[in-house]
């Protein structure tokens, strides 16, 4: 069997040595020292009788007495040096040696020596480790074998009366040592168990959560002191049907189902219910319910099945629930505000487009002289009206696109097309803007590009917005480069400029509606801050990704990754991977004007 001292020693070793003060191990060490002192005392008391028998010509008693004195002194010295395992082994081996001597001297098979050796194995079971216990049983079997063989040999024996007295004395000393050890073990068990019970009781009574223990029949056996604070009543009021009456009627099935799972199936359960909390200071008899998180844990003592006792931890989570409700209400209000904003933008956009179209159309007619010749001043005014009207129309269009994206009403018409074919029309649309700012447009198109399944109109819008931003923030004499290449199962569309760049904190806000790097009343760049937010929305509709890299003064690169096979990627169609090999050197990029000239 495994003694409590062995358990304590193993725990003490895991804690790092003798200085831990582990109670069972300290008692085990004291027992070793007391055993040595007890053996020395009893052997010293029997020494005069052993000397008397030695004078009469019988050396066996003095040999056993010397063995007891020597073993006691050696084990006590080992104990004082901290060699506790060696001390335990010394006591067991000394007792086994005494048993062997008595067995050799006695012709009977069942003699006092075998009884003393049996006491040694009991002492090893109480004090020793597993290895010492095994060795003691092996030596006991050896002593029994020696006794059996010796009883068959014609060897001169001692006087039977003297032999019986010597064996009885040795047996009494060994029994005294074993009884002392057993008594100390019993005390250790009692002290250890009482300490554990006190620690658990202190923990349960002072833990913040309420602790309840249910019997296998579902009765409340114990309630912690914190349960009085949780429920606002004395703990004895929770017994019987007191706890069930405090459960909200709508939550009782949930509680009973979870309790049955823990009680009968042995499964832990965590759930949330409402429970009534009493308030003695309340003037009106109106029940107040709080939210409680209940954690049920079955007490499984064996694997035979059946019903189990259940321990429940109850925590007041009313504040958390109130916070969640407030957050949900705030989210609902924010969503309603966002929807109202989107409806407002859509309404005001539609209301503005009709008169603006008229302003743009009639101003263009006036500037071209359809309604009659105008003076140079009037023609200049008509041109300004036309330019401002177009700008307002563009702003309204972006607002409408943004409101449709936020409302989830922007529908994609995906079909296969060659992505490189949209670059030339987009360059043509921003060519005037690029020439006005002295910016070159450069195209870098990869070879053997696959067909892209996407909404072509949305892709044009993505590229136009990226080009407009890049040109707007480029320095005069710079270049804007459009790169198109395949990247795994996606098509990589990148627009790079050599302009003013962006700060790192602004990169984190890329795609945020109405955000502008250079905001304020003194900003030098026009725009509403919706271009990149529309790009981000369109890219997300295609299940793509938007990335941006920038450095102040060194320009910005915005990359769009669009799935080749559209928003729902078909892995079977895009799983083909190009073998890794050295690609031929890419052709040098040329300006858009050079590409256009070659095409003509």
pLDDT confidence bin for 285, thresholds 50/70/90: low
Above 60 in pLDDT, residue 579? Answer: no
pLDDT confidence bin for 462, thresholds 50/70/90: confident
- Strand pairing class (452-454; 415-417): antiparallel
Q: Same structural domain for residues 152 and 31?
A: yes
Q: Same structural domain for residues 342 and 241?
A: no
What is the side-by-side order of every strand in the sheet holding 545-551? 545-551, 555-563, 490-496, 479-487, 440-445, 590-591
Strand residue runs (E) in 147-239: 210-214, 220-223
* pLDDT of the residue at 407: 62
Above 50 in pLDDT, residue 483? Answer: yes
**Half-sphere exposure at residue 242, Cβ-oriented, CA atoms within 13 angstroms:** 21
Report the CATH number that the domain containing residue 381 is assigned in CATH. Answer: 1.10.287
Q: Same structural domain for residues 91 and 170?
A: yes
Mean pLDDT, rounded, for 480-502: 87
Q: How many CB atoms lie within 10 A of CB 291?
A: 19
Residue 32 lies in domain? 4-203
Q: What is the pLDDT of residues 297-329, one digit of tens each?
A: 898 876 666 788 898 989 999 999 999 999 999
Q: What is the pLDDT of residues 391-402, one digit of tens each?
A: 677 667 666 666
Q: Which of 182, 203, 224 is the last residue of a domain?
A: 203
Does the model's pTM come out above 0.75? no
Q: Same structural domain for residues 494 and 428?
A: yes
- Name the nearest CA neighbour of 318 among 287, 293, 282: 293
DSSP state of 427: H
Across the strands, what pairs with 244? Answer: none
Count of structural domains within the chain: 4
Q: What is the pLDDT of residues 189-231, one digit of tens each?
A: 666 667 677 777 777 777 778 888 888 888 888 888 888 888 8
pLDDT confidence bin for 243, thresholds 50/70/90: confident
Q: What is the pLDDT of residues 20-62, one digit of tens each?
A: 345 667 777 788 888 888 888 888 888 888 787 777 777 878 8
pLDDT confidence bin for 525, thresholds 50/70/90: very low
User: At residue 493, what are phi and psi to the nearest 5 degrees?
Assistant: -115, 110
Above 70 in pLDDT, residue 233? Answer: yes
* pLDDT of the residue at 409: 62
Q: What is the chain's Cα-based Rg?
A: 47
pLDDT more than 70, % of the chain:
76
DSSP state of 241: T
Q: Same structural domain for residues 302 and 277?
A: yes
Q: Same structural domain for residues 15 and 108?
A: yes
pLDDT confidence bin for 19, thresholds 50/70/90: very low
* pLDDT of the residue at 588: 39
Across the strands, what pairs with 270? Answer: 295
* pLDDT of the residue at 291: 93
Q: Same structural domain for residues 242 and 188?
A: no
Q: Report the alpha-carbon distance of residue 373 to residue 434 in Å, rounded.
A: 32
Q: Report the alpha-carbon distance of residue 95 to residue 127 in Å, rounded.
A: 14
pLDDT confidence bin for 386, thresholds 50/70/90: confident
Report the CATH number that the domain containing residue 305 is assigned in CATH. Answer: 3.30.450.20
Calculate the CA 166 to chain-centre distance. Answer: 69
135: which 2 tokens? 């060795």
Q: Same structural domain for residues 427 and 569?
A: yes
Q: Same structural domain for residues 177 and 259?
A: no
* pLDDT of the residue at 293: 92
Q: What is the pLDDT of residues 7-17, one digit of tens each?
A: 333 333 332 33
Report the CATH number that the domain containing residue 532 is assigned in CATH. Answer: 3.30.565.10
Q: Same structural domain for residues 261 and 392?
A: no
Higher pLDDT, 246 or 304: 246
What is the side-by-side order of every strand in the sheet holding 288-299? 220-223, 210-214, 309-316, 288-299, 269-277
């Amino acid at each position: 069997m495994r003694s409590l001292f062995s358990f304590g020693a193993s725990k003490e070793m895991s804690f790092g040595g003798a200085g831990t003060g582990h109670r069972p191990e300290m008692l085990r060490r004291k027992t070793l020292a007391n055993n040595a002192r007890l053996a020395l005392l009893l052997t010293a008391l029997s020494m005069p009788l052993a000397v008397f028998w030695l004078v009469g010509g019988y050396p066996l008693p003095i040999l056993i007495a010397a063995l007891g004195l020597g073993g006691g002194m050696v084990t006590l010295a080992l104990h004082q040096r901290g060699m506790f395992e060696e001390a335990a082994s010394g006591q067991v081996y000394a007792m086994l040696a005494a048993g062997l001597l008595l067995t050799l001297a006695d012709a009977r098979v069942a003699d006092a020596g075998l009884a003393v050796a049996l006491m040694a194995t009991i002492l090893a079971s109480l004090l020793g480790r597993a290895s010492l216990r095994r060795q003691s049983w092996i030596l006991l079997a050896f002593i029994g074998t020696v006794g059996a063989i010796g009883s068959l040999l014609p060897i001169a024996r001692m006087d039977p009366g003297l032999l019986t007295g010597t064996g009885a004395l040795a047996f009494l000393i060994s029994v005294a040592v074993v009884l002392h050890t057993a008594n100390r073990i019993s005390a250790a068990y009692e002290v250890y168990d009482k300490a554990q019970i006190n620690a658990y009781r202190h923990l349960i009574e002072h833990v913040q959560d309420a602790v309840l223990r249910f019997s296998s029949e579902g009765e409340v056996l114990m309630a912690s002191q914190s349960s009085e604070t949780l429920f606002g009543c004395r703990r004895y009021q929770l017994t019987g049907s007191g706890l069930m009456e405090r459960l909200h009627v709508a939550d009782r099935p949930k509680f009973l189902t979870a309790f049955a799972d823990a009680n009968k199936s042995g499964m832990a359960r965590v759930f949330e219910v409402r429970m009534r909390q009493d308030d003695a200071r309340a003037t009106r008899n109106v029940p107040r319910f709080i939210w409680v998180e209940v954690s049920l844990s079955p007490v499984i003592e064996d694997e035979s099945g059946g019903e189990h006792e259940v321990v429940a931890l109850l925590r007041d989570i009313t504040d958390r629930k109130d916070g969640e409700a407030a957050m949900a209400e705030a989210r609902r209000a924010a969503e309603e505000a966002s929807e109202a904003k989107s409806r407002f933008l859509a309404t005001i956009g539609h209301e503005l487009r009709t008169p603006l179209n008229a302003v743009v159309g009639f101003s263009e007619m006036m500037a071209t002289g359809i309604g009659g010749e105008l003076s140079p001043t009037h023609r200049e005014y008509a041109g300004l009206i036309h330019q401002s009207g177009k700008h307002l129309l563009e702003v309204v269009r972006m607002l409408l696109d943004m409101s449709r994206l936020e409302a989830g009403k922007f529908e994609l018409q995906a079909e296969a097309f060659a992505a490189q074919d949209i670059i030339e029309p987009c360059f043509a649309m921003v060519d005037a803007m690029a020439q006005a700012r002295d910016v070159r447009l450069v195209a870098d198109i990869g070879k053997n590009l696959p067909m892209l399944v996407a909404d072509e109109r949305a892709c044009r819008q993505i590229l136009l917005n990226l080009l407009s931003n890049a040109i707007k923030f480029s320095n005069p004499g710079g270049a804007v480069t459009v790169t198109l290449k395949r990247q795994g199962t996606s098509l990589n569309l990148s627009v790079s400029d050599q302009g003013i760049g962006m700060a790192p904190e602004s990169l984190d806000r890329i795609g945020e509606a109405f955000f502008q790097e250079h905001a304020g009343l003194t900003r030098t760049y026009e725009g509403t801050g919706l271009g990149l937010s529309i790009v981000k929305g369109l890219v997300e509709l295609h299940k793509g990704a938007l990335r941006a890299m920038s450095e102040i003064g060194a320009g910005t690169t915005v990359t769009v990754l669009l799935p080749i096979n559209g928003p729902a990627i078909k892995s079977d169609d895009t799983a083909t991977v190009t073998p890794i090999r050295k690609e031929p050197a890419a052709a040098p990029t040329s300006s858009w004007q050079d590409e256009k000239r070659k095409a003509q």
